[in-house]
Amino acid sequence: MNYKIDNLQYCKWSREVFEINHQAGLDAVHVTVVYHEDYDEFLERLKEWDEHFKNNSDLIFLGKNFSDIEKAKKDKKTAIFFGFQNCSPIEDDIGLIGKVHEHGCRFMQLTYNNQSLLATGCYEKNDSGVTNFGREAIKEMNKIGVVVDMSHSAEKSTFDAIDISEKPIAITHANPSFWHSAKRNKSKDLLKTLADSKGMLGLSLYPHHLKSGTNCTLESFCEMTAQTVEIMGINNVGIGSDLCLFQPDTVVEWMRNGTWAKQKNFGEGSKSKPGFPKQPKWFEDARGFKNLETGLKKTGFNDEETNKILGNNWFNFYKGIN
Amino acid sequence: MNYKIDNLQYCKWSREVFEINHQAGLDAVHVTVVYHEDYDEFLERLKEWDEHFKNNSDLIFLGKNFSDIEKAKKDKKTAIFFGFQNCSPIEDDIGLIGKVHEHGCRFMQLTYNNQSLLATGCYEKNDSGVTNFGREAIKEMNKIGVVVDMSHSAEKSTFDAIDISEKPIAITHANPSFWHSAKRNKSKDLLKTLADSKGMLGLSLYPHHLKSGTNCTLESFCEMTAQTVEIMGINNVGIGSDLCLFQPDTVVEWMRNGTWAKQKNFGEGSKSKPGFPKQPKWFEDARGFKNLETGLKKTGFNDEETNKILGNNWFNFYKGIN
């Protein structure tokens, strides 16, 4: 059986998005529920998801573990797995890790771009690695079954997390820096260590992570995938598109600034280009998985390898979460 | 005019404590209102203080700036200045700095012992210095009039804070490490840099910061004071006793553990000595200021110098806060 999984989307959720993902044949999507929201604000977001599940029960349902991906495939629906792009919802309380898991959280980034209580983000000048609280949190996440996601973390912190975590960790959405040197992309050494520990990389389709941005070609992306597989092996690479479909620019502004600064920060953007960047033509939404399939095969991947990258690797990773 | 100021106490507040401070002749006390409490929990603590002020208006009132210390002297009362030993009450929101100031906060530590969102605490393995959010917070604290307190911070973070802050910072309660090597005590280099920037050190009477702990002698403490003055000059040294009068041991347990770990941490204590340590005989409470006065003079300080250390230096520092 082959599964199609996009292991990171942060869209402005609506029936339209769920229909697109359905048309794309996605069996599972890891969705970002919150960034900088605290626990109570996370509960508010959950109410919105309750409505989505109620109003779109023909298309989606809440995924709890890998068997829900099998169920989704069988029922022709998409299993939605919850994740956080910052650790804000657990505040300073290790007891909240169990609580967010009860509410469906399966992936949690230890940091967004800045320093968190757990580790250092990739936009800080210095990286002190995983903190005292971070060590305790990783132990608890391992025990309970919340995946450590280091997509936005700084390098030493990520090496630390791989070392401390007794379960494989994930970088759900980023690309290798040898292809495109962005703060958010990852070094060869790191990707090698991640793969050696059975961790997963989800390749990102977000223009700021792509060589030539919006103008990145499918060929270039698939060639990069082949080079990444050379470093990481064929079992540790998947897709985490980072699609932000239909989000207004106010959202990217808030993602970058949260409530920590009085003046505006532009993150991966710039003063002249502050908003969400435009997707490449061949991946305007998840239906681009079809183009990826064609492109990967053209680059030399066989059917089995292509299917691993487009979902089967993530499916196997999900099997190990609990 | 001479003022007596204890620039750090965290007692179990009661009329008895306020009476002791009154007997000690304290014109001002900087009190720790919260450690790891978030903004809402801080507001709860304020309700308790409202009661204290109402029930003990013959002894105490809320101090807002240096002129309240003059007022306290005149009225034979003690001005109470609020401070935080962690930055938890501002959560991840720079806008809350103005709010806590409105509610009386005049000192805020950027960290307790662990990493915070602003800087690194002295119990972390690595110290990445002041963070992105930390830089913004310091700017805002400078602007609004909340003193940066680095008592529990790691060394690089403290150097950073001195460098970034446009106003003098404080280490309200710690001792030099040349005298007693404790994680919480500070290096000569740091104390020199602090003094050069017109920052203040409040010498601590907490046994874990004292040479020989509970058995520390008054002579040894006063000799250390003289050596510290040699490094920092006579205008930058005061007292921040760190008195935790009448606190039950559950409180020190909570101070050390907050909600960040499932197993117990002993901080400056140990498994065999987990509770609050016993004060030295000559400083069982603030009435020990009298012994300090005698001891300092015996060590060679003249009247003016002694008065500077026992309060006038802090008074001058308060003049610069707003």
The 10s digit of each residue's pLDDT in B176-208 is 999 999 999 999 999 999 999 999 999 999 999
Give the whole-angstrom CA distance, residue B132 versus residue A257. 11
Q: Residue B35: name the closest of B100, B97, B148, B113 by CA.
A: B113
C-alpha dist (Å) from residue A89 to A96, A111, B39, B169, B216: 8, 12, 15, 32, 45
pLDDT level of residue B253 (50, 70, 90 thresholds): confident
In this predicted model, what pLDDT tens digit does every residue of B215-244 receive, in sequence order? 999 999 999 999 999 999 999 999 999 999
Q: What is the pLDDT of residue B269?
A: 85
**More confident position, A253 or A146:** A146
Do B286 and B9 form a contact (C-beta atoms < 8 A)? yes
Q: What is the pLDDT of residue A252?
A: 87
Count how many residues are written for chain B.
322
pLDDT level of residue A254 (50, 70, 90 thresholds): confident
Q: Residue A183: name the closest of A125, A247, A234, A242 by CA.
A: A125
Structure tokens belonging to residue B269: 């204590």
Structure tokens belonging to residue A318: 């999900």
Q: Is residue A175 less than 8 Å (CB to CB) from chain B?
A: no
Give the whole-angstrom CA distance, residue B139 versus residue B118. 12
Task: Please report which residue ranges of B56-123 form alpha helices under DSSP H.
Answer: 66-75, 95-102
**B302: exposed, middle or buried (Cβ count in 10 Å: 0-12, 13-18, 19+):** exposed
Task: Please report which residue ranges of chain A form alpha helices under DSSP H.
Answer: 15-23, 39-55, 66-75, 95-102, 132-144, 155-164, 188-196, 218-232, 249-257, 289-299, 303-307, 313-319
| Region class of B123: left (phi > 0), else alpha (psi between -120 and 50), else beta | alpha
Residue numbers of B between 230 and 269 with CB closer than 8 Å to A: 258-262
Q: Residue A279: name the closest of A193, A204, A192 by CA.
A: A204
Q: What is the pLDDT of residue A271?
A: 85
Q: What is the pLDDT of residue A283?
A: 98
Q: Is residue A40 less than 8 Å (CB to CB) from chain B?
A: no
Structure tokens belonging to residue A40: 């109570």
Q: What is the pLDDT of residue A106?
A: 98
Question: Which SS3 state, helix, strand or coil, does residue B185 take?
Answer: coil
pLDDT at A267 over 90: no
Q: What is the pLDDT of residue A265?
A: 86
**More confident position, B144 or B276:** B144
Q: Is residue B36 less than 8 Å (CB to CB) from chain A?
A: yes
Q: What is the pLDDT of residue B205?
A: 98
pLDDT level of residue B266 (50, 70, 90 thresholds): confident
Percent of chain B residues past pLDDT 70, beyond the cut: 100
Give the whole-angstrom CA distance, residue A210 versus residue A292. 14
CB contact under 8 A, A260 and B94: yes
Largest CA distance in chain B: 51
**A278: exposed, middle or buried (Cβ count in 10 Å: 0-12, 13-18, 19+):** exposed
Q: Name the residue among B114, B133, B259 with its Cβ closest to that of A93.
A: B259
pLDDT at A72 over 90: yes
A116 contacts: CB under 8 Å, gap ≥ 6 = A86, A87, A88, A110, B117
pLDDT level of residue A232 (50, 70, 90 thresholds): very high
Q: Name the residue among A120, A140, A262 with its Cβ closest to that of B94.
A: A262
In this predicted model, what pLDDT tens digit does every residue of B130-140 receive, in sequence order? 999 999 999 99
Give the whole-angstrom CA distance, residue A134 versus residue A117. 7
In this predicted model, what pLDDT tens digit does every residue of A29-49 receive, in sequence order? 999 999 999 999 999 999 999
Task: Please report which residue ranges of B155-259 form alpha helices under DSSP H.
Answer: 155-164, 188-196, 218-232, 249-257
**A104: exposed, middle or buried (Cβ count in 10 Å: 0-12, 13-18, 19+):** middle
Structure tokens belonging to residue B36: 């790891």
C-alpha dist (Å) from residue B232 to B30, B196, B238: 22, 8, 11
N-terminal to C-terminal alpha carbon distance within chain A: 21
CB contact under 8 A, B95 and A259: yes
Helices (H) and strands (E) in chain B, counts: 12, 9
| Closest approach of B134 to chain A, Cα-based (Å) | 9
pLDDT at A92 over 80: yes
Q: Name the residue among A123, A127, A140 with its Cβ closest to that of B128.
A: A127
Q: Has this prediction a pTM greater than 0.90?
A: yes
For B133, nearest residue in chain A (alpha carbons): A260
Domains belonging to chain B, first-starting first, are 5-319 (3.20.20.140)
Structure tokens belonging to residue B155: 């060394």
Q: What is the pLDDT of residue A9?
A: 98
| Closest approach of B218 to chain A, Cα-based (Å) | 36
Do B292 and B222 form a contact (C-beta atoms < 8 A)? yes
CB contact under 8 A, B132 and A124: yes
CB contacts of B129 in chain A (<8 Å) are 125-126
N-terminal to C-terminal alpha carbon distance within chain B: 21
CB contacts of B133 in chain A (<8 Å) are 114-115, 260-261
H/E run at residue B108: strand B105-109
In this predicted model, what pLDDT tens digit does every residue of A136-177 receive, in sequence order? 999 999 999 999 999 999 999 999 999 999 999 999 999 999
Percent of chain B residues past pLDDT 90, beyond the cut: 92
The residue type found at A119 is A
CB contacts of A152 in chain B (<8 Å) are none
Q: Is residue A129 less than 8 Å (CB to CB) from chain B?
A: yes
Q: What is the pLDDT of residue B25?
A: 98
**B257: exposed, middle or buried (Cβ count in 10 Å: 0-12, 13-18, 19+):** middle
pLDDT at B49 over 80: yes
Mean pLDDT of chain A: 97
Q: What is the pLDDT of residue B260?
A: 92
pLDDT level of residue B94 (50, 70, 90 thresholds): very high
C-alpha dist (Å) from residue A28 to A53, A239, A240, B156, B183: 14, 11, 11, 45, 49
Give the whole-angstrom CA distance, residue B139 versus residue A105. 36
Structure tokens belonging to residue A250: 């106010």
Give the Cα-Cα-Cα angle B110, A36, A263 (nearest 5 degrees). 65
